Chain A
Amino acid sequence: MNPLLLFVFVLAVFLGLELINKVPSQLHTPLMSGSNAISGITIVGAIVAAGEGGIVPTILGTIAVAAATINVIGGYLVTERMLGMFKVGKGS
């Protein structure tokens, strides 16, 4: 609907590329699962689809909410679990 979003999109991509340079390999997996949880933001769209009425959109939206929630909850928890195992500090 709004082409101005393109502006935001391009800036956000550049921001992302600048933000994450030089990641130590220790953090590759947590970065992937943690950023993956962020991509679960599509849950916002899923909630709207599931709640705005209409049979088919409600069905699709409900499945989308469930899938996106798996993504969000699973992603954050598993990242938290992994990072909890990493011993940081102690002279490094």
Chain B
Amino acid sequence: MAAWQVFAYIAASILFITGLKMLSRPETARRGNRLSAVGMLIAVVATLAAGGLDYTWIVVGLVIGAAVGAVAARRVQMTGMPEMVALLNGSGGLASMLVGWAEYVRTTDVATFSAVAIVFTVLIGGIAASGSVVAFGKLSERIDGKPYLFRGQKPLNAALLALALVAAGFVIADAAIVGGVGGTTLAFALVLLLALALGVLVVIPIGGADMPIVVALLNSYSGIAAAAAGFVIDNNVLVVAGSLVGASGFILTTIMCKAMNRSLANVLFGGFGATVTAGSAAQEGSVKPLTPDDAYYILEAADSVVFVPGYGMAVAQAQHVVQELAELLIKNGADVRHAIHPVAGRMPGHMNVLLAEANVPYEQLVEPEDVNPAMETVDVAIVIGANDVVNPAAKEDPSSPLFGMPIIEVDRARTCFVLKRSMNPGFAGVDNALFFKDNTRMIFGDAKATIAAMVSAFKDA
């Protein structure tokens, strides 16, 4: 590698590091993203300019990828962002897997260390690729979002992983003893196929409400796969950039787990929500329905209103009417906030993106710990398609699978509206005692239509 190329890669690495740091602060995020894009451009140009390459097929790949990426990025709806992120994770993992595979085919004399790097890249890249496709299927509801569990699932996964590692061991041993990987095509193919199978099997048992954790985890995997590919082609910039992404994905995963009060192991192996625990106490009290017109009279008198959006708001595409209602409430003299639970929706930050699309000012967005202490002073809490993140069982019922999860305590507000399509339990499959509380009013129907009705009630008044 020429000295200038090393300098170019160092510059790219510095831009990635600075960009990522800036990306984690609201004021600098946009500049950070652009800086890291410049870093990427430098790395790509430095690789192309190094020479010794036949550009024909490189250009074909670049053109196809750029066209697909640009069109997808422009067309995707904000509500479709979780699927988009899952597919991007998958394409990164796939690329790393293929890089490992191509290197395996290309080289004849492979050092032991490189063989380790190759099988590891294929393994992680393959899991990230096929896992992301399943995650995409679940998020876009092409596959049932419910956890898919069968008997012997864990032993099967463990056995397949063990088999993959044994096959990987063969490839590595061949490199160590013979000094080449030529005779291990079958073992290598096995590693490849098992990696893809494992990706499917690992994501399939995970339920809809846990998707934010899975998406963050796959993000981390795609970074680790890129770092592993860096070991394969002996390139520092891949190692640095890949590990940064691996680390940031891991941090997001941890944040999501904390927000659900669960361990990562529990998410991955728990099959959460597959069964409703028999211990959950029977619900007391009755459901009190309300019409949007009656809701208007309560809202009209309210001084403090908190919206609690959930996945249902995304499904109903209700973010714009929510903002319209919020503006009318503010004009009417009320204090309006949007309380966002970290795991509301299907990916980390899902609700923030939707509300930002609807021009909700950043200052109105608050986190649970900001709004919970003063919940008694809130006149109306409007829950829009959220369920588990407002379920009081998380505080009150030790037998509930949700017990211990930090929630937005809307049950302590003076009045609580719950906008819901029907009485079905949430994605966690758990009944919600909130619906039966004295201060709760259920407003059934499509969330968008319901809020639009409240908006027109305000306008007519």
Contacts and interface: CB of A to CB of B under 8 A. Distances in A.
Interface of A: 1-3, 5, 8-9, 12-17, 19-54, 56-58, 60-92
13 contacts: A30-B23, A36-B92, A38-B241, A38-B244, A41-B43, A46-B99, A47-B53, A58-B57, A70-B68, A70-B72, A73-B73, A74-B91, A76-B37
B237 interface: yes
Given A24-B26, A52-B53, A81-B73, A71 B61 contact: no
A63 B247 contact: no
Interface of B: 16-17, 19-21, 23-27, 29-30, 32-34, 36-37, 40, 43-44, 47-48, 52-55, 57-58, 60-62, 64-66, 68-70, 72-74, 76, 78, 81, 84-85, 88-89, 91-92, 94-96, 98-99, 101-103, 105-106, 111, 113-114, 215-216, 219, 222-223, 225-227, 229-252, 255, 340, 342, 347-350, 352-353, 356-357, 359, 361-363, 365, 367
A76 B54 CA distance: 27
A45 B238 contact: yes
Contact of B247 (A17, A56, A68): A17
B211 to A, nearest CB: 13
A42 to B, nearest CB: 4
A34 to B, nearest CB: 5
A32 B349 contact: yes
Contact of A78 (B55, B60, B73, B247): B73
* B interface, over-half SS: helix
Nearest to A44: B47
A21 to B, nearest CB: 7
A68 B348 contact: no
B421 to A, nearest CB: 25
B363 A90 contact: yes
B241 A26 contact: no
A83 B17 CA distance: 19
A90 B359 CA distance: 13
A89 B88 CA distance: 30
Given A62-B61, A68-B91, A29 B362 contact: no
Residue in B66, B98, B246, B367 with the greatest tally of chain A CB atoms within 10 Å: B98
Contacts of B361: 87, 90
A91 to B, nearest CB: 6
Given A41-B40, A73-B69, A49 B352 contact: no
Contacts of A82: 78, 81, 353, 356
Contact of B95 (A16, A30, A40, A86): A40
Nearest to A88: B26
A76 B44 CA distance: 15
Contact of A20 (B94, B233, B242, B251): B251
Nearest to A36: B88
A73 to B, nearest CB: 3
Nearest to B358: A85
A86 B29 contact: yes
A32 B342 contact: no
Residue in A12, A40, A70, A85 with the greatest tally of chain B CB atoms within 10 Å: A70
A13 B250 CA distance: 10
Contacts of A80: 30, 33-34
Residue in B68, B216, B340, B352 with the greatest tally of chain A CB atoms within 10 Å: B352
Given A31-B24, A42-B95, A45-B99, A9 B243 contact: yes
A63 B247 CA distance: 27
B102 A64 contact: yes
A15 B244 contact: yes
B254 to A, nearest CB: 10
Nearest to A4: B236
A35 B244 contact: yes
Contacts of B76: 78
B64 A19 contact: no
A89 B365 CA distance: 13
